[in-house]
Structure 1
Amino acid sequence: MSLVSALVLSGPPGVGKSMVGWRVFDRCTDLGQDPALVDLDLMGAAWPAPPDDPHQARLKATNLAAVWSNYRAAGSRRLIIAGVVEDEGERKLLEVATGGAVVICRLEAPDDELAQRILGRGREGGADVARLVARAVELSAQLAAHDVSDYSVGTGGRTIDEVADEVLARWDKP
């Protein structure tokens, strides 16, 4: 089987992109697939954001290209990316950054579970947490309505292992 080099785990805040990404990374390591993992939020953690790119999609892609180049030089063959992909333009930026097609898996969960997970993280408080929960619900609906993913996997009521196993099993399927 030929391995598709790049998988993007997309979805709203609280859906489990980072946790599932780490577990898929572990599975790929166990399978001898020489993976690398990148969190797009960290690739764009710079302020201020330009008015025409409020979510730093261009900066994220530019930084991803440099990091992926370094990972490939170190021997990585598969790239797991945790981050939101809202439209075809952002998908194209990631394809340019990775040097080929990406497979996008949209993770989804019920709105109430997204809210519980965000609250459980304890990173945000007060009005910030309320804004993030509202954004998660809004983004979840937007991603479902304007789906640019290749497939979706539900995370609601499931263990990280169950989700990661399904994500990985479907990564290389046409």
Structure 2
Amino acid sequence: MTPALVLSGPPGVGKTSVGWRVFTRCTDLGQDPAFVDLDLLGAAWPAPDDDPHQSRLKAANLAVVWANYRAVGSRRLIIAGVVETSGERLHLEEATGGPVVICRLDASDDVLAQRIRDRGREGGDDLKQLVARAAELSAQLVAQDVSDFSVRTTGRDVDEIADEVLARW
């Protein structure tokens, strides 16, 4: 079984956009993929004090969704979501029933901030907090790297990034 691919990185780096493009490429290659966004699998409030990033909830939901995808014929799993710790990686491995390959997507803080502003989903203090969180998380993910490889997204189009991710997966 091919290890699941996890596209990790801070907000604005392109996890979902690259994930969709990798999914499309795998579909075109006849590889029967499935795509999951961990943010959506953990979109519940409030978060428990002992799991502030909802990593256990995301993994529990991922296990069920992946089982359903496999039941209808999916053979490759692409996941978009932030993986900050080896414990979170272990949760994903348990949920998928095997190893995961983590690709950390990187971009400069200025690029992250511009992409977040361009999305137009946040405003005011929420926007300022998300931009600050993106820069903080970007540095943290580099310092405490749990990824298998990284791919730079600054100044590149989504096709070029997806091609590199696929080649390295």
Into which bin does the TM-score normalised by the smaller protein fall? over 0.9
Tell me by how many angstroms 1:4 deviates: 1.8
**1:30 — aligned with what?**
28
Tell me, in whole angstroms, the C-alpha distance in 2 between the residues paired with 1:86 and 1:55.
Answer: 10
How many residues were matched structurally?
A: 169
Tell me by how many angstroms 1:93 deviates: 0.1
TM-score (norm 1): 0.96
**2:90 — aligned with what?**
92
Amino acid in the other structure paired with 1:163: I
**1:118 — aligned with what?**
116
**2:107 — aligned with what?**
109
Tell me by how many angstroms 1:26 deviates: 0.3
SS at match of 1:50: coil
Tell me, in whole angstroms, the C-alpha distance in 1 between the residues paired with 2:50 and 2:61.
Answer: 18
CA contact 1:5–1:77 (8 Å) conserved in 2: no
Amino acid in the other structure paired with 2:76: R
Amino acid in the other structure paired with 1:80: I
Q: How does 1:71-90 map to 2 (within 5 A)?
A: 71-90=69-88
Aligned Cα root-mean-square deviation (Å): 0.6
CA contact 1:38–1:82 (8 Å) conserved in 2: yes
**1:56 — aligned with what?**
54
Amino acid in the other structure paired with 2:47: A
- Which of residues 159, 162, 165 is equivalent to 1:164? 162
1:83-133, CA deviations, whole angstroms, 9 ceiling, x for partnerless residues?
Answer: 000010000000000000000000000000000000000000100000000
Tell me by how many angstroms 1:66 deviates: 0.2
Consecutive unaligned residues in structure 2, runs of 5 or more = none
SS at match of 1:85: coil
Identical aligned pairs, as a percentage?
78
**2:3 — aligned with what?**
5
**2:137 — aligned with what?**
139
CA contact 1:24–1:164 (8 Å) conserved in 2: yes
**1:14 — aligned with what?**
12
Consecutive unaligned residues in structure 1, runs of 5 or more = none
**1:128 — aligned with what?**
126
- Which of residues 143, 147, 168 is equivalent to 1:149? 147
Tell me by how many angstroms 1:5 deviates: 3.3
Amino acid in the other structure paired with 1:123: R
**2:68 — aligned with what?**
70
Tell me, in whole angstroms, the C-alpha distance in 2 between the residues paired with 1:26 and 1:156.
Answer: 22
Tell me, in whole angstroms, the C-alpha distance in 1 between the residues paired with 2:66 and 2:23.
Answer: 15
SS at match of 2:101: strand
Amino acid in the other structure paired with 1:64: L
SS at match of 1:4: coil
Amino acid in the other structure paired with 2:12: G
TM-score (norm 2): 0.99
